[in-house]
Amino acid sequence: MKLTKTEMTKLARRVLAQASVGDLRVQIDARQQGNTRFANGRPTTGGDVDQVTIAVTAAQGASTATATGNATDDAGLAALVQRAEAMAALSPENPEHMPPLGKTAHDKVKARDPAVAKMTAVERDAAVGKALGAAAKAGVEVAGFVKHETRVVVAGDRAGLMAAHESTSVSMTTTCRTGAGGSARRGFTSHALAGLDGEALAAEAAQWAKRSNGPTAMDPGRYTVVLAPAAVAELLGFFVGAMGARAAAEGRSALSAADGATKVGQQLAAASVDLWSDPAHPAHPASPMTTGGEPHARTEWIRGGRLLALTASRYWADRAGVPARPKPSSIHLSAGGSGSLEALVGKVGKGILVTRFWYSRMLERRSLTVTGVTRDGTFAIENGKIGSSVKNFRYNDSPLNMLARIAASGTPVRTQGDRVTVVPPLVIEGFNFESVSDAV
């Protein structure tokens, strides 16, 4: 069975044909993945994986259940549908069960690059070989990962929904370490192969690893920081995760207001901040649909620093009288600025440059305070220049503070991660470092 929209849609129709209940839904997620991992100047593990997941949801009235499997033969599909229907019959009613979507329009998004779909171990190992060579030439240790994937997602139901989206993705990361306390990571991620350059990634990581040699400890406390896009994206992810309308209305969120209200309409961020989703962005395409078939439309979440919208399930949208908005497949942040990271550093007299955060975890939901550590290059900023390397910090701070305390910003770029995230480097005032870490 070929991994195409046509073949996977046929598979979805074969599932629906097995139904004996009126409300039967199918989701198919089929992928071909390949990867090579390397460390200590050599390839370590790798793999090529074909997988398919078929999820069937059956409902009898408000009693509903989902059965998932990966058999694609007729007997396997029939058994899967029977399992879902039998479970639904045993399930207590779910008053939040919503009727099937039926025929639904989605944006057309071109997110499949044939060059990625054709990739094998030959192409990825070539990129690895170049990265290993660049690191050896620079005299640093290197570790990294190359991954490519072709994916088809199909959602269908008996009320007329039959939607499919195909995409590719390719990414590479390289981490170089010097043995003198220096470490740096650089990465590439896109739906398209053009621009993947293992040699350039490793060479840049090697250069910055050397620059971060010999870190010295600075006292923890509040600093003006320049957050590189990777750091911005990590902290912003916690805000995106907290954008649920239901939790906000039920008083369980940092976006709750008193007496069952939410903070929609409030000025949450600096006046320069716009936050939006755009699955059809030509350079950074994302899925125009959820795996269940709900559309991802272009959505403005924050404009001019004011919170405009929250995510809402179909059930909550119906109950609260707000638009249904699934968790976004892409996030774009702008704070009105442009220019490189180094140009942004030039605007800061004294502060700290954070390349990356690591092991960030929710610490306190009421204020959306997050904890984590800096990693792979933390530097003092002195008189608008990147100065000496400093030891990593543990931070305890909130993305709400980050968005509210933006003093300047650069040009948005795509960052690593599953969700398409395009964010600029930011200058943040009064960022809270709690303690120092000896980690490299």
Partner 1 sequence: MLGAPAFLHPTRAGAHEPAPATHPATAAAADAAIAASPLPGLARFAELAVSQATDAGATYADARLVRWRSDHVAVRDDHVSKLSSEDEIGIGVRVLVDGGWGFAATHSVDAPSVRAATKRAVSAAKRAGALRAATGAGPVTLAAAPAAKGQWVSPHAVDPFTQSVGDKAALLLDATKAVLGVAGVAHARASVAVVGEDKLLVTSDGTHIHQVFYRLMPQLSATAVDRRRGGFASANHEAAPMLGGWDYVTGLGLADAGVGVGQLAVQKLGAASVTPGVKSVVLAPSNLWLTIHESIGHPTELDRAMGLEADYAGTSFLRPQDAGQLQLGAERVTLMADRTQPGGLATTAWDDEGVASQRWPIVERGKFVGWQTTRDQAAWVGEPSSRGCAYGQRYRGVQFQRMPNISLQPGSEGYTTEDLINATEDGIYVTGRGSWSIDQQRYNFQFSGQSFWEIKRGRLTRPLKDVAYQANTVEFWKSCDMLGGEGTYRLGGSFHDGKGQPGQSNAVSHGCPPARFSANIVNTAGTR
Nearer Cβ to partner 1, position 196 or 400? Answer: 400
- The Cα-based distances of 220 to 89, 186, 217, 381, 437 in angstroms read 58, 26, 9, 15, 10
Nearer Cβ to partner 1, position 17 or 71? Answer: 71
Q: How are beta strands 426-437 and 392-397 bridged, if at all? A: antiparallel
Closest distance to partner 1 from the beta carbon of 192 (Å): 20
36 binds partner 1 (CB under 8 A): yes
52 binds partner 1 (CB under 8 A): yes
91 binds partner 1 (CB under 8 A): yes
Report which residue type is found at 304: G
The only residue of 6, 17, 45, 139 in contact with partner 1, by rule CB under 8 A: 45
The only residue of 6, 51, 266, 340 in contact with partner 1, by rule CB under 8 A: 51
The only residue of 6, 216, 338, 435 in contact with partner 1, by rule CB under 8 A: 435
Report the alpha-carbon distance of residue 250 to residue 242 in Å, rounded.
13
Could you tell me which stretch among 321-329, 344-352, 360-368, 406-414 binds partner 1 (CB under 8 A)?
A: 360-368
Could you tell me which stretch among 36-44, 264-272, 283-291, 340-348 binds partner 1 (CB under 8 A)?
A: 36-44
The only residue of 14, 29, 46, 298 in contact with partner 1, by rule CB under 8 A: 46
Among 165, 168, 172, residue whose Cα is nearest residue 191: 168
281 binds partner 1 (CB under 8 A): no
436 binds partner 1 (CB under 8 A): yes
75 binds partner 1 (CB under 8 A): no
Closest distance to partner 1 from the beta carbon of 320 (Å): 16
The only residue of 27, 169, 256, 262 in contact with partner 1, by rule CB under 8 A: 256
Restricting to residues 214-253, name those near partner 1 by CB under 8 A.
Answer: 250-252
Q: Are 12 and 72 in contact (CB under 8 A)?
A: no
Q: Are 312 and 246 in contact (CB under 8 A)?
A: yes
144 binds partner 1 (CB under 8 A): yes
Restricting to residues 375-434, name those near partner 1 by CB under 8 A.
Answer: 375, 392, 394, 396-398, 400-401, 432, 434
Could you tell me which stretch among 12-20, 21-29, 65-73, 276-284 binds partner 1 (CB under 8 A)?
A: 65-73
Taking CA 172 as the corner, what is the angle to CA 388 and CA 399, rounded to the nearest 5 degrees? Answer: 60
The only residue of 102, 195, 214, 260 in contact with partner 1, by rule CB under 8 A: 260
Nearer Cβ to partner 1, position 109 or 128? Answer: 128
Restricting to residues 201-220, name those near partner 1 by CB under 8 A.
Answer: none
Could you tell me which stretch among 35-43, 268-276, 293-301, 328-336 binds partner 1 (CB under 8 A)?
A: 35-43
317 binds partner 1 (CB under 8 A): no
Nearer Cβ to partner 1, position 383 or 418? Answer: 418
66 binds partner 1 (CB under 8 A): yes
Q: What does the per-residue mask of binding to partner 1 show for 113-132, with x meaning CB under 8 A?
A: --------xx--x--xx--x
